[in-house]
Structure 1
Protein backbone atom coordinates (compact mmCIF):
# COMPACT_ATOMS: atom_id res chain seq x y z
CA UNK A 1 0.00 0.00 0.00
CA UNK A 2 1.54 3.31 -1.01
CA UNK A 3 0.71 6.91 -0.34
CA UNK A 4 -0.24 9.25 -3.18
CA UNK A 5 2.59 10.70 -5.26
CA UNK A 6 0.70 13.51 -6.94
CA UNK A 7 1.19 17.12 -5.88
CA UNK A 8 4.16 19.40 -5.62
CA UNK A 9 7.67 18.26 -4.77
CA UNK A 10 7.36 20.11 -1.45
CA UNK A 11 4.21 18.16 -0.63
CA UNK A 12 5.90 14.86 -1.47
CA UNK A 13 8.99 15.80 0.55
CA UNK A 14 6.83 16.75 3.52
CA UNK A 15 4.95 13.47 3.33
CA UNK A 16 8.23 11.54 3.13
CA UNK A 17 9.61 13.48 6.10
CA UNK A 18 6.63 12.67 8.30
CA UNK A 19 6.54 9.03 7.22
CA UNK A 20 10.26 8.72 7.90
CA UNK A 21 9.87 9.97 11.47
CA UNK A 22 7.04 7.50 12.07
CA UNK A 23 8.60 4.49 10.32
CA UNK A 24 11.88 4.93 12.23
CA UNK A 25 9.92 5.08 15.53
CA UNK A 26 11.45 8.47 16.31
CA UNK A 27 7.78 9.34 16.69
CA UNK A 28 6.37 6.25 18.33
CA UNK A 29 2.82 4.93 18.22
CA UNK A 30 0.80 7.00 20.68
CA UNK A 31 3.18 9.98 20.58
CA UNK A 32 2.06 13.51 19.86
CA UNK A 33 3.86 14.89 16.81
CA UNK A 34 5.14 18.49 16.82
CA UNK A 35 2.56 21.25 16.46
CA UNK A 36 1.86 22.75 13.04
CA UNK A 37 4.13 25.84 13.48
CA UNK A 38 6.99 23.60 14.60
CA UNK A 39 6.57 21.35 11.57
CA UNK A 40 6.50 24.35 9.25
CA UNK A 41 9.80 25.58 10.68
CA UNK A 42 11.33 22.11 10.86
CA UNK A 43 10.55 21.18 7.25
CA UNK A 44 10.64 24.66 5.76
CA UNK A 45 7.21 24.60 4.15
CA UNK A 46 3.93 26.49 4.51
CA UNK A 47 0.86 25.71 6.58
CA UNK A 48 -1.18 24.29 3.68
CA UNK A 49 1.60 21.85 2.75
CA UNK A 50 1.87 20.57 6.33
CA UNK A 51 -1.89 20.20 6.62
CA UNK A 52 -2.11 18.32 3.33
CA UNK A 53 0.57 15.86 4.45
CA UNK A 54 -1.05 15.32 7.85
CA UNK A 55 -4.45 14.77 6.21
CA UNK A 56 -2.94 12.24 3.82
CA UNK A 57 -1.33 10.23 6.60
CA UNK A 58 -4.52 10.46 8.66
CA UNK A 59 -6.43 9.01 5.71
CA UNK A 60 -3.99 6.10 5.72
CA UNK A 61 -4.45 5.52 9.45
CA UNK A 62 -0.92 6.57 10.42
CA UNK A 63 -1.93 9.81 12.16
CA UNK A 64 -5.02 10.94 14.02
CA UNK A 65 -5.87 14.50 15.03
CA UNK A 66 -7.73 14.92 18.31
CA UNK A 67 -9.36 18.38 18.50
CA UNK A 68 -7.95 20.48 21.30
CA UNK A 69 -5.12 18.03 21.96
CA UNK A 70 -3.00 17.55 18.84
CA UNK A 71 -2.03 14.94 16.28
CA UNK A 72 -1.02 11.46 17.44
CA UNK A 73 0.89 8.69 15.71
CA UNK A 74 -1.58 5.86 15.29
CA UNK A 75 0.38 3.32 13.23
CA UNK A 76 3.91 2.94 11.86
CA UNK A 77 2.55 1.74 8.54
CA UNK A 78 -0.53 2.58 6.46
CA UNK A 79 -3.62 0.79 7.72
CA UNK A 80 -5.14 -1.34 5.04
CA UNK A 81 -8.46 0.10 3.93
CA UNK A 82 -9.29 -3.40 2.70
CA UNK A 83 -9.03 -4.75 6.26
CA UNK A 84 -11.05 -1.86 7.70
CA UNK A 85 -13.78 -2.23 5.08
CA UNK A 86 -13.81 -5.99 5.59
CA UNK A 87 -14.31 -5.62 9.35
CA UNK A 88 -16.89 -2.86 8.89
CA UNK A 89 -19.02 -5.28 6.85
CA UNK A 90 -19.33 -7.58 9.85
CA UNK A 91 -21.66 -7.37 12.80
CA UNK A 92 -20.27 -4.97 15.39
CA UNK A 93 -20.59 -7.53 18.16
CA UNK A 94 -18.40 -9.88 16.14
CA UNK A 95 -15.79 -7.13 15.81
CA UNK A 96 -15.79 -6.77 19.61
CA UNK A 97 -15.25 -10.53 19.96
CA UNK A 98 -12.38 -10.35 17.46
CA UNK A 99 -10.90 -7.43 19.41
CA UNK A 100 -11.10 -9.53 22.58
CA UNK A 101 -9.07 -12.32 20.99
CA UNK A 102 -6.40 -9.89 19.79
CA UNK A 103 -6.13 -8.21 23.18
CA UNK A 104 -5.72 -11.45 25.12
CA UNK A 105 -3.08 -12.67 22.66
CA UNK A 106 -1.31 -9.29 22.84
CA UNK A 107 -1.27 -9.34 26.65
CA UNK A 108 0.36 -12.77 26.67
CA UNK A 109 3.02 -11.72 24.17
CA UNK A 110 3.57 -8.43 26.03
CA UNK A 111 4.34 -10.36 29.21
CA UNK A 112 7.16 -12.07 27.30
CA UNK A 113 8.41 -9.37 24.92
CA UNK A 114 7.87 -6.08 26.77
CA UNK A 115 10.86 -3.80 27.22
CA UNK A 116 11.50 -1.21 29.93
CA UNK A 117 10.40 1.46 27.44
CA UNK A 118 7.10 -0.35 26.93
CA UNK A 119 6.62 -0.59 30.68
CA UNK A 120 7.29 3.11 31.16
CA UNK A 121 4.65 3.99 28.57
CA UNK A 122 2.13 1.61 30.11
CA UNK A 123 2.80 2.99 33.58
CA UNK A 124 2.44 6.55 32.32
CA UNK A 125 -0.88 5.75 30.61
CA UNK A 126 -2.15 4.03 33.75
CA UNK A 127 -1.00 6.95 35.90
CA UNK A 128 -2.74 9.49 33.64
CA UNK A 129 -5.97 7.51 33.95
CA UNK A 130 -5.60 7.35 37.73
CA UNK A 131 -5.11 11.10 37.96
CA UNK A 132 -8.00 11.99 35.63
CA UNK A 133 -11.21 13.40 37.18
CA UNK A 134 -13.62 10.75 38.47
CA UNK A 135 -16.47 11.81 36.23
CA UNK A 136 -19.02 9.58 34.44
CA UNK A 137 -17.87 8.79 30.90
CA UNK A 138 -20.14 7.47 28.18
CA UNK A 139 -17.57 6.93 25.46
CA UNK A 140 -15.03 4.31 24.49
CA UNK A 141 -12.27 6.88 23.89
CA UNK A 142 -10.43 5.55 26.94
CA UNK A 143 -9.87 2.33 25.00
CA UNK A 144 -9.57 3.45 21.39
CA UNK A 145 -7.61 6.71 21.13
CA UNK A 146 -3.91 6.74 20.21
CA UNK A 147 -1.76 6.36 23.31
CA UNK A 148 -4.48 4.41 25.12
CA UNK A 149 -3.46 1.67 27.54
CA UNK A 150 -4.91 -0.99 25.24
CA UNK A 151 -2.97 0.12 22.18
CA UNK A 152 0.24 0.27 24.23
CA UNK A 153 -0.29 -3.33 25.37
CA UNK A 154 -0.60 -4.44 21.75
CA UNK A 155 2.53 -2.49 20.85
CA UNK A 156 4.38 -4.13 23.75
CA UNK A 157 3.52 -7.54 22.29
CA UNK A 158 6.26 -6.98 19.74
CA UNK A 159 4.06 -8.32 16.94
CA UNK A 160 3.65 -6.04 13.94
CA UNK A 161 0.87 -8.27 12.60
CA UNK A 162 -1.10 -8.02 15.84
CA UNK A 163 -0.62 -4.25 15.85
CA UNK A 164 -1.76 -3.85 12.24
CA UNK A 165 -4.84 -6.03 12.82
CA UNK A 166 -5.65 -4.19 16.03
CA UNK A 167 -5.39 -0.76 14.42
CA UNK A 168 -7.87 -1.96 11.78
CA UNK A 169 -10.26 -2.97 14.56
CA UNK A 170 -9.82 0.41 16.25
CA UNK A 171 -10.77 2.19 13.04
CA UNK A 172 -14.11 0.38 13.03
CA UNK A 173 -14.72 0.91 16.76
CA UNK A 174 -13.82 4.60 16.64
CA UNK A 175 -16.32 5.13 13.85
CA UNK A 176 -18.96 3.19 15.80
CA UNK A 177 -18.20 5.26 18.90
CA UNK A 178 -18.65 8.49 16.97
CA UNK A 179 -22.02 7.18 15.82
CA UNK A 180 -22.95 6.34 19.41
CA UNK A 181 -23.15 2.59 18.82
CA UNK A 182 -20.26 1.56 21.10
CA UNK A 183 -19.77 2.86 24.63
CA UNK A 184 -17.63 2.20 27.67
CA UNK A 185 -19.35 -0.76 29.29
CA UNK A 186 -17.84 -0.41 32.75
CA UNK A 187 -17.07 2.24 35.34
CA UNK A 188 -13.85 4.24 35.26
CA UNK A 189 -12.96 2.85 38.68
CA UNK A 190 -13.26 -0.75 37.44
CA UNK A 191 -11.38 0.06 34.25
CA UNK A 192 -8.48 1.56 36.21
CA UNK A 193 -8.37 -1.45 38.52
CA UNK A 194 -8.39 -3.83 35.54
CA UNK A 195 -5.61 -1.92 33.82
CA UNK A 196 -3.56 -2.13 37.00
CA UNK A 197 -3.95 -5.91 37.10
CA UNK A 198 -2.91 -6.26 33.44
CA UNK A 199 0.09 -3.98 33.99
CA UNK A 200 1.17 -5.90 37.08
CA UNK A 201 1.06 -9.20 35.17
CA UNK A 202 3.05 -7.79 32.25
CA UNK A 203 5.63 -6.33 34.64
CA UNK A 204 6.00 -9.73 36.32
CA UNK A 205 6.22 -11.52 32.93
CA UNK A 206 3.32 -13.66 34.13
CA UNK A 207 1.76 -14.92 30.90
CA UNK A 208 -1.14 -16.75 32.56
CA UNK A 209 -2.16 -13.78 34.70
CA UNK A 210 -1.77 -11.37 31.78
CA UNK A 211 -4.22 -13.41 29.69
CA UNK A 212 -6.58 -13.93 32.63
CA UNK A 213 -6.62 -10.24 33.63
CA UNK A 214 -7.08 -9.02 30.08
CA UNK A 215 -9.88 -11.52 29.42
CA UNK A 216 -11.79 -10.32 32.46
CA UNK A 217 -11.27 -6.71 31.47
CA UNK A 218 -12.30 -6.86 27.81
CA UNK A 219 -15.41 -8.86 28.71
CA UNK A 220 -16.74 -5.76 30.46
CA UNK A 221 -14.79 -2.97 28.76
CA UNK A 222 -16.77 -1.98 25.68
CA UNK A 223 -20.41 -2.63 24.94
CA UNK A 224 -23.07 -2.01 22.33
CA UNK A 225 -25.45 0.77 23.26
CA UNK A 226 -28.45 -1.22 22.04
CA UNK A 227 -27.24 -4.41 23.71
CA UNK A 228 -26.07 -3.32 27.15
CA UNK A 229 -28.76 -5.22 29.04
CA UNK A 230 -27.51 -8.45 27.48
CA UNK A 231 -23.83 -7.52 27.62
CA UNK A 232 -23.52 -7.51 31.42
CA UNK A 233 -24.96 -11.02 31.99
CA UNK A 234 -22.62 -12.35 29.30
CA UNK A 235 -19.75 -10.70 31.15
CA UNK A 236 -20.72 -12.44 34.40
CA UNK A 237 -20.90 -15.81 32.65
CA UNK A 238 -17.55 -15.24 30.98
CA UNK A 239 -16.01 -14.27 34.33
CA UNK A 240 -17.39 -17.42 35.97
CA UNK A 241 -16.07 -19.62 33.17
CA UNK A 242 -12.61 -18.07 33.32
CA UNK A 243 -12.51 -18.37 37.12
CA UNK A 244 -13.70 -21.97 36.92
CA UNK A 245 -11.00 -22.80 34.41
CA UNK A 246 -8.18 -21.49 36.56
CA UNK A 247 -7.11 -23.83 39.37
CA UNK A 248 -4.13 -22.39 41.31
CA UNK A 249 -3.44 -25.77 42.97
CA UNK A 250 -3.37 -27.54 39.61
CA UNK A 251 -1.17 -24.83 38.17
CA UNK A 252 1.39 -25.25 40.93
CA UNK A 253 1.28 -29.04 40.88
Structure 2
Protein backbone atom coordinates (compact mmCIF):
# COMPACT_ATOMS: atom_id res chain seq x y z
CA UNK A 1 0.00 0.00 0.00
CA UNK A 2 1.46 3.34 -1.04
CA UNK A 3 1.90 5.62 1.96
CA UNK A 4 -0.09 8.82 1.81
CA UNK A 5 1.68 12.14 1.52
CA UNK A 6 0.19 14.89 3.61
CA UNK A 7 -0.54 18.11 1.75
CA UNK A 8 0.82 21.31 3.30
CA UNK A 9 -1.77 23.02 5.48
CA UNK A 10 -3.75 25.78 3.81
CA UNK A 11 -3.61 29.03 5.79
CA UNK A 12 -6.94 30.52 6.86
CA UNK A 13 -8.33 33.07 4.43
CA UNK A 14 -7.46 36.11 6.54
CA UNK A 15 -3.89 34.91 6.88
CA UNK A 16 -3.61 34.26 3.13
CA UNK A 17 -4.71 37.82 2.44
CA UNK A 18 -2.17 39.20 4.93
CA UNK A 19 0.61 37.08 3.42
CA UNK A 20 -0.34 38.35 -0.03
CA UNK A 21 -0.28 41.95 1.20
CA UNK A 22 3.22 41.35 2.54
CA UNK A 23 4.32 39.85 -0.79
CA UNK A 24 2.96 42.83 -2.72
CA UNK A 25 4.52 45.27 -0.27
CA UNK A 26 7.85 43.45 -0.52
CA UNK A 27 7.92 43.78 -4.30
CA UNK A 28 7.08 47.47 -4.06
CA UNK A 29 9.73 48.20 -1.41
CA UNK A 30 12.23 46.09 -3.33
CA UNK A 31 11.81 48.31 -6.39
CA UNK A 32 10.30 45.65 -8.64
CA UNK A 33 7.25 47.91 -9.01
CA UNK A 34 8.48 51.51 -8.66
CA UNK A 35 6.39 54.51 -7.68
CA UNK A 36 4.49 55.70 -10.75
CA UNK A 37 4.60 52.26 -12.37
CA UNK A 38 1.73 49.88 -13.02
CA UNK A 39 1.61 46.56 -11.20
CA UNK A 40 0.72 43.33 -13.05
CA UNK A 41 -2.90 42.56 -13.82
CA UNK A 42 -5.04 40.52 -11.45
CA UNK A 43 -4.67 37.26 -13.45
CA UNK A 44 -0.90 37.78 -13.60
CA UNK A 45 -0.76 38.29 -9.84
CA UNK A 46 -2.81 35.16 -9.24
CA UNK A 47 -0.28 33.17 -11.22
CA UNK A 48 2.79 34.85 -9.76
CA UNK A 49 1.68 34.65 -6.14
CA UNK A 50 -0.09 31.30 -6.28
CA UNK A 51 -3.26 32.47 -4.57
CA UNK A 52 -6.87 32.89 -5.60
CA UNK A 53 -8.40 35.83 -7.40
CA UNK A 54 -10.39 36.97 -4.36
CA UNK A 55 -7.28 36.92 -2.18
CA UNK A 56 -5.40 39.09 -4.67
CA UNK A 57 -8.36 41.42 -4.94
CA UNK A 58 -8.60 41.90 -1.17
CA UNK A 59 -4.85 42.42 -0.81
CA UNK A 60 -4.79 45.04 -3.56
CA UNK A 61 -7.84 46.74 -2.07
CA UNK A 62 -6.09 46.94 1.32
CA UNK A 63 -3.04 48.62 -0.22
CA UNK A 64 -5.27 51.01 -2.17
CA UNK A 65 -6.98 51.97 1.09
CA UNK A 66 -3.54 52.46 2.71
CA UNK A 67 -2.54 54.88 -0.05
CA UNK A 68 0.19 52.67 -1.52
CA UNK A 69 -1.70 51.70 -4.68
CA UNK A 70 -4.23 53.54 -6.84
CA UNK A 71 -6.74 51.95 -9.21
CA UNK A 72 -7.28 53.94 -12.40
CA UNK A 73 -10.35 53.04 -14.37
CA UNK A 74 -9.49 51.52 -17.72
CA UNK A 75 -5.75 51.76 -17.10
CA UNK A 76 -4.78 49.49 -14.23
CA UNK A 77 -3.40 49.72 -10.70
CA UNK A 78 -0.40 51.93 -10.03
CA UNK A 79 2.09 52.36 -7.20
CA UNK A 80 1.68 55.85 -5.74
CA UNK A 81 3.73 55.52 -2.54
CA UNK A 82 6.08 53.12 -0.76
CA UNK A 83 4.99 54.43 2.62
CA UNK A 84 1.59 53.68 4.10
CA UNK A 85 1.83 56.39 6.73
CA UNK A 86 2.76 59.31 4.47
CA UNK A 87 -0.59 59.46 2.60
CA UNK A 88 -2.46 59.34 5.91
CA UNK A 89 -0.44 62.26 7.25
CA UNK A 90 -0.87 64.19 3.99
CA UNK A 91 -4.65 63.75 4.09
CA UNK A 92 -4.79 65.13 7.62
CA UNK A 93 -2.52 68.11 6.95
CA UNK A 94 -4.45 71.36 6.82
CA UNK A 95 -3.57 74.91 7.84
CA UNK A 96 -5.69 74.70 10.98
CA UNK A 97 -3.70 71.65 12.13
CA UNK A 98 -0.28 73.16 11.56
CA UNK A 99 0.25 73.66 15.29
CA UNK A 100 -0.26 69.92 15.80
CA UNK A 101 2.32 69.15 13.12
CA UNK A 102 4.84 71.39 14.88
CA UNK A 103 4.18 69.50 18.13
CA UNK A 104 4.85 66.20 16.34
CA UNK A 105 8.03 67.62 14.83
CA UNK A 106 9.12 68.67 18.30
CA UNK A 107 8.52 65.18 19.68
CA UNK A 108 10.70 63.66 16.95
CA UNK A 109 13.40 66.30 16.61
CA UNK A 110 14.13 67.01 20.27
CA UNK A 111 14.77 63.34 20.97
CA UNK A 112 16.67 62.94 17.69
CA UNK A 113 18.98 65.82 18.64
CA UNK A 114 19.57 64.35 22.09
CA UNK A 115 20.44 60.95 20.63
CA UNK A 116 22.56 62.50 17.90
CA UNK A 117 24.73 64.22 20.51
CA UNK A 118 25.34 60.82 22.09
CA UNK A 119 25.79 58.74 18.95
CA UNK A 120 27.10 60.98 16.16
CA UNK A 121 30.01 59.66 14.16
CA UNK A 122 32.71 61.64 12.32
CA UNK A 123 30.76 60.95 9.11
CA UNK A 124 27.60 62.35 10.71
CA UNK A 125 29.42 65.54 11.67
CA UNK A 126 30.65 65.99 8.10
CA UNK A 127 27.07 65.53 6.86
CA UNK A 128 25.73 68.00 9.43
CA UNK A 129 28.34 70.62 8.55
CA UNK A 130 27.53 70.21 4.87
CA UNK A 131 23.79 70.46 5.46
CA UNK A 132 24.22 73.54 7.65
CA UNK A 133 26.40 75.24 5.02
CA UNK A 134 23.86 74.38 2.30
CA UNK A 135 21.07 75.83 4.44
CA UNK A 136 22.99 79.08 4.93
CA UNK A 137 23.74 79.31 1.21
CA UNK A 138 20.08 78.66 0.39
CA UNK A 139 19.02 81.49 2.70
CA UNK A 140 21.46 83.89 1.08
CA UNK A 141 20.14 82.94 -2.37
CA UNK A 142 16.73 84.30 -1.43
CA UNK A 143 14.91 81.34 -3.01
CA UNK A 144 12.15 80.10 -0.71
CA UNK A 145 11.82 76.66 -2.29
CA UNK A 146 15.55 76.04 -2.12
CA UNK A 147 15.70 77.12 1.50
CA UNK A 148 12.80 74.87 2.49
CA UNK A 149 14.53 71.85 0.98
CA UNK A 150 17.87 72.77 2.59
CA UNK A 151 16.25 73.26 6.00
CA UNK A 152 14.49 69.89 5.76
CA UNK A 153 17.77 68.28 4.71
CA UNK A 154 19.51 69.59 7.84
CA UNK A 155 16.78 68.30 10.15
CA UNK A 156 16.88 64.97 8.36
CA UNK A 157 20.65 64.81 8.88
CA UNK A 158 20.14 65.33 12.60
CA UNK A 159 17.65 62.46 12.71
CA UNK A 160 20.05 60.26 10.75
CA UNK A 161 22.80 61.03 13.29
CA UNK A 162 20.56 59.64 16.04
CA UNK A 163 21.09 56.14 14.58
CA UNK A 164 17.60 54.94 15.44
CA UNK A 165 16.12 53.17 12.43
CA UNK A 166 12.52 53.32 13.57
CA UNK A 167 12.77 57.02 14.39
CA UNK A 168 14.23 57.69 10.93
CA UNK A 169 11.43 55.74 9.22
CA UNK A 170 8.70 57.54 11.16
CA UNK A 171 10.33 60.90 10.49
CA UNK A 172 10.49 60.13 6.77
CA UNK A 173 6.77 59.36 6.87
CA UNK A 174 5.96 62.90 7.94
CA UNK A 175 8.29 64.42 5.33
CA UNK A 176 5.48 66.16 3.47
CA UNK A 177 4.13 67.62 6.70
CA UNK A 178 7.63 68.76 7.66
CA UNK A 179 8.07 70.63 4.38
CA UNK A 180 4.65 72.20 4.82
CA UNK A 181 5.47 73.59 8.26
CA UNK A 182 8.79 74.99 7.06
CA UNK A 183 7.10 76.59 4.05
CA UNK A 184 4.26 77.85 6.23
CA UNK A 185 6.48 79.67 8.71
CA UNK A 186 8.90 80.89 6.04
CA UNK A 187 6.19 82.58 4.00
CA UNK A 188 6.42 83.84 0.44
CA UNK A 189 9.82 85.47 0.89
CA UNK A 190 12.88 85.12 3.11
CA UNK A 191 12.57 87.91 5.66
CA UNK A 192 15.43 88.64 8.12
CA UNK A 193 13.08 88.51 11.11
CA UNK A 194 12.15 84.94 10.21
CA UNK A 195 15.71 83.66 10.11
CA UNK A 196 16.52 81.00 12.73
CA UNK A 197 20.15 80.13 13.42
CA UNK A 198 20.76 76.36 13.53
CA UNK A 199 24.52 76.52 14.08
CA UNK A 200 24.11 76.19 17.86
CA UNK A 201 22.19 72.95 17.37
CA UNK A 202 24.95 71.47 15.24
CA UNK A 203 27.57 72.72 17.73
CA UNK A 204 25.77 71.00 20.63
CA UNK A 205 25.70 67.73 18.72
CA UNK A 206 29.37 68.12 17.83
CA UNK A 207 30.21 68.77 21.50
CA UNK A 208 28.35 65.63 22.56
CA UNK A 209 26.02 67.61 24.84
CA UNK A 210 22.58 65.89 24.71
CA UNK A 211 20.86 68.34 27.07
CA UNK A 212 21.96 71.40 25.10
CA UNK A 213 21.17 69.71 21.79
CA UNK A 214 17.62 68.94 22.96
CA UNK A 215 17.12 72.53 24.13
CA UNK A 216 18.39 73.93 20.83
CA UNK A 217 16.20 71.57 18.80
CA UNK A 218 13.10 72.55 20.76
CA UNK A 219 13.77 76.27 20.85
CA UNK A 220 12.71 76.98 17.28
CA UNK A 221 9.71 74.62 17.42
CA UNK A 222 7.84 76.41 20.17
CA UNK A 223 5.87 79.03 18.18
CA UNK A 224 4.92 78.98 14.52
CA UNK A 225 7.44 81.68 13.69
CA UNK A 226 10.62 79.86 12.76
CA UNK A 227 11.64 76.83 10.70
TM-score tier, shorter chain, comes to 0.5 to 0.7
Q: Measure, in 2, the Cα distance between the counterparts of 1:157 and 1:123.
A: 15
State how far apart, in whole Å, the 1-side matches of 2:36 and 2:101 are: 26
Larger Rg: 2
1:92-123 Cα offsets, whole Å, 9 max, x none, are 32012111121111000000011111111111
Paired residue for 2:186, among 184, 187, 197? 184
Q: Which residue number corresponds to residue 167 of structure 2? A: 162
TM-score (norm 1): 0.50
Q: How many residues align?
A: 156
TM-score between both structures, scaled by the size of structure 2: 0.55
- What's the C-alpha RMSD, in Å, of the aligned pairs? 3.7
Shift of 1:135: 3.9
DSSP 3-state at the match of 2:140: coil
Gaps of 5+ in 2: 1-21, 38-66, 69-81
Q: C-alpha displacement at 1:208, in angstroms?
A: 1.1
Show structure 1 runs of 4+ deviating over 6 A: none
Q: Point out where structure 1 has 5 or more consecutive residues left out of the alignment.
A: 7-11, 17-51, 61-77, 224-230, 236-253
Residue in structure 2 matched with residue 217 of structure 1 by the alignment = 220
Measure, in 1, the Cα distance between the counterparts of 2:137 and 2:89: 38
Which residue is equivalent to 1:112?
A: 118
1:134 equivalent in alignment to 2:137: no
Aligned partner of 1:53 in structure 2 is: 34
Cα distance in structure 1, aligned partners of 2:217 and 2:138 = 22
Distance change (3 Å), C-alpha of 1:135 and 1:86: closer
